[in-house]
Chain A
């Protein structure tokens, strides 16, 4: 950490020098003679002192850590016999012992030699990196300072650097997508090496158990994802049954019938529904809605479990209402007033105008908003984890318990896991399926809404 501090000190000194020099060069304090304000000269030197040194520091640090690890582990007796997954643990043990904070439980006699070597190497590396970085910084400081003169375009160069920095920030956004795709893809690839691809996509039996020993009962692990997908779709369908009519009618009332003042109160209130964390909905579903539906079912002679698809779908539908109502409301308002005026002037009532003129005109936008809502429902996790079931069942009956893609991902990954187990890799395969599905829906929806907006603007 002192290295960073030292580099920073150097850089700040560089700023000071960089700023002073141009001021010194203009004897009569006439700032207009300079190409850029002295601050920029200062920034320029600052950046040159800071960035190369930091980069060198990080690179050297990384490599030295790598080297040290190799050397130190070589000193551990019988290193070849230790399992790959345990090496991290052993190395951590060495580090703890080296820092002197190990107690009787975590110290291991065999590792003392390694620990001592570790300390030795760390101090050498720290010292050398320190020297290298400081030398680099100082050298650059002197070299750059020489470059500064009256015509030096400091501002342009600094701004170029800032622009590059901004570009890098933008690229981080893509890196995220790339990271998601790559990580899902690679883990899924590992999965498909063990489980046949078409079995996964088209198989109708989902029972992800892997035998630990040959003779264990339940050793047949089936990884057909159809029942899981079916569960997702069933719950999403139920949710849409609730959210679409209520969302649309709310939007119609808000845009056409409500006074401005009333609308300004009601619209934010409905949007509160979207701001409630989904875990609260999940808890509500498990605690109140599930038992309520079960009791209601009993009273009319139906057998509904408390983890029914109906319960999860109902609560999910409530959560999605604001997605549809807000977007549809904006879309309906975007329909040009002249169409409404034309219809009213012909003697149509508000409802007739809405049903026959406005909604057909707004239809693409509304469809887009529904697709976005569907995508949200498919990816929803907490409500279904807490309110829906775990067993994959291929059914269209809303009164039964089904499971969804997101529930399975959570179940497979929480609990003991080893990383190359097909059970845990199945979660990544499901995640990939989910990502592709929602990506597809989002792209279509965004395209439709964009086209619709262009039509009316």
Chain B
């Protein structure tokens, strides 16, 4: 039975493998503690440039916590301590000289539930670029809005209503707006925390296509509960369980011939 399920995943999806040579992020011995209790234990992995890396695993096993280490969003949470190093292009982001604000403008994030600001679509996009001084005039702003929305595949749908509120869009459109917003600051890495979990299948398909085009210029790390989705979009997959990284290798390997028993158990649906 287990064999059948593996076959179904591999048969109906073209499984990919990593071909990139450049390492964008080097994670070394990352551990996260909430109030002294360990939530994520000793993660070591390398993320390759211009690829999609998927993180899979059952609920509550530390994937979100881990991903928030990469753009140091865990700093915002009280009583949360992070140990270890993450090298982003040769620089340890946990170095004391690093400016967190700058870091977050180079690493974008898309959340599980779409969270557009209660402002107009236009203002949602130009919010961060204005703060960082990327755009200085109205014409630059207009250009950037069009560019970001086009890259996110949303421009045609909203070009006539840029001044309407971002919260008035459908779920899928809101999520693409959030992606456009993240792209507007031109980050080299985009983190996605289950971006499609609150969307319908059609919107999901649109976003998966979007991910495929985004990775040409950027590196994507995506958390997903949907193994088929992981199989569809990613080159490399990491399996997390109870705060530990169990297995990390090419997507084709994970879904056809996983080395760890727990990995096999998860992807065949035995648990999680």
Which of A's residues lie within 8 Å of B, judged by CB?
A: 259-260, 336, 338-349, 352, 356-357, 360-361
CA distance A339 to B76 in the complex (A): 13
Contact string against A for B residues 96-108, beta-carbon threshold 8 Å, 1 for contact and 0 otherwise: 0000011111001
B16 within 8 A of A: no
Q: How many residues of B contact A (CB 8 A)?
A: 26
Chosen A-B contacts, 27 in total, with CB atoms closer than 8 Å, are: A260-B78, A336-B115, A338-B113, A339-B117, A339-B118, A340-B76, A341-B115, A342-B111, A342-B181, A344-B76, A344-B104, A345-B71, A345-B108, A345-B109, A345-B111, A346-B108, A346-B127, A346-B131, A346-B182, A346-B185, A347-B101, A347-B104, A347-B105, A348-B101, A348-B128, A357-B117, A361-B118
CA distance A346 to B178 in the complex (A): 10
Within 8 A of A (CB), among B154-187: 178, 181-182, 185
Chain B hits for A342, CB < 8 A: 111, 115-117, 178, 181
| Closest residue on chain A to residue B130 by CB atoms | A356
B205 within 8 A of A: no
CA distance A341 to B64 in the complex (A): 13
Knowing that A339-B115, A347-B185 touch, tell me 10 more A-B residue pairs with CB under 8 angstroms. Answer: A259-B78, A340-B76, A341-B76, A342-B116, A342-B181, A343-B117, A346-B131, A347-B102, A348-B131, A361-B117
CA distance A345 to B182 in the complex (A): 9
CA distance A345 to B193 in the complex (A): 12
B73 within 8 A of A: yes
| Closest residue on chain A to residue B124 by CB atoms | A342
CA distance A341 to B182 in the complex (A): 13
CA distance A347 to B115 in the complex (A): 15
Contact string against A for B residues 103-142, beta-carbon threshold 8 Å, 1 for contact and 0 otherwise: 1110011010101111100000001100110000000000
Chain B hits for A340, CB < 8 A: 76
- Chain B nearest CB, measured from A57 CB (Å): 64
Q: Which of B73, B78, B181 contacts A344 (CB 8 A)?
A: B73
Chain B hits for A339, CB < 8 A: 115, 117-118
CA distance A89 to B43 in the complex (A): 93
- Chain A nearest CB, measured from B74 CB (Å): 11
CA distance A402 to B181 in the complex (A): 55
Chain B hits for A344, CB < 8 A: 73, 76, 104
Chain A hits for B111, CB < 8 A: 338, 341-342, 345
CA distance A360 to B132 in the complex (A): 20
Task: Given the known inter-chain contacts A346-B105, A347-B185, A349-B101, please indicate yes or no for A356 contacting B115, CB distance below 8 A.
Answer: no
Q: Which of B71, B105, B115, B119 contacts A338 (CB 8 A)?
A: B115
Please report whether the interface of chain A is mostly helix, strand, loop or mixed according to DSSP: helix
Chain A hits for B116, CB < 8 A: 342
| Closest residue on chain B to residue A346 by CB atoms | B128
CB atoms of B132 and A347 under 8 A apart: yes
- Chain A nearest CB, measured from B119 CB (Å): 8
- Chain B nearest CB, measured from A356 CB (Å): 7
Chain A hits for B108, CB < 8 A: 345-346
| Closest residue on chain B to residue A342 by CB atoms | B115
With a 10 A CB-CB cut-off, give which of B102, B113, B117, B182 has the most chain A CB atoms. B117
Chain B hits for A346, CB < 8 A: 104-105, 108, 127-128, 131, 181-182, 185
Chain A hits for B109, CB < 8 A: 345
Chain B hits for A260, CB < 8 A: 78
CA distance A336 to B182 in the complex (A): 19
Chain B hits for A259, CB < 8 A: 78
Chain B hits for A341, CB < 8 A: 73, 76, 111, 115
- Chain B nearest CB, measured from A306 CB (Å): 48
- Chain A nearest CB, measured from B30 CB (Å): 19
- Chain A nearest CB, measured from B134 CB (Å): 10
- Chain B nearest CB, measured from A346 CB (Å): 4
CA distance A340 to B111 in the complex (A): 12
- Chain A nearest CB, measured from B176 CB (Å): 14
CA distance A135 to B247 in the complex (A): 93
Chain B hits for A360, CB < 8 A: 118-119
Chain B hits for A345, CB < 8 A: 71, 73, 104, 108-109, 111, 182
CA distance A349 to B132 in the complex (A): 10
| Closest residue on chain B to residue A260 by CB atoms | B78
- Chain B nearest CB, measured from A334 CB (Å): 14
| Closest residue on chain B to residue A352 by CB atoms | B131
| Closest residue on chain A to residue B116 by CB atoms | A342
CA distance A260 to B78 in the complex (A): 8
Chain B hits for A352, CB < 8 A: 131
CA distance A343 to B102 in the complex (A): 13
Chain A hits for B113, CB < 8 A: 338
CA distance A361 to B108 in the complex (A): 23
- Chain A nearest CB, measured from B126 CB (Å): 11
Chain B hits for A338, CB < 8 A: 111, 113, 115
- Chain B nearest CB, measured from A300 CB (Å): 42
Chain A hits for B115, CB < 8 A: 336, 338-339, 341-342
Q: Which of B76, B119, B131 contacts A347 (CB 8 A)?
A: B131
- Chain A nearest CB, measured from B182 CB (Å): 7
Task: Given the known inter-chain contacts A338-B111, A339-B117, please indicate yes or no for A356 contacting B104, CB distance below 8 A.
Answer: no
CA distance A141 to B11 in the complex (A): 89
CA distance A352 to B128 in the complex (A): 10
With a 10 A CB-CB cut-off, give which of B78, B104, B116 has the most chain A CB atoms. B104
Closest 5 CB pairs of A and B: A347-B105, A345-B109, A347-B104, A346-B128, A338-B115
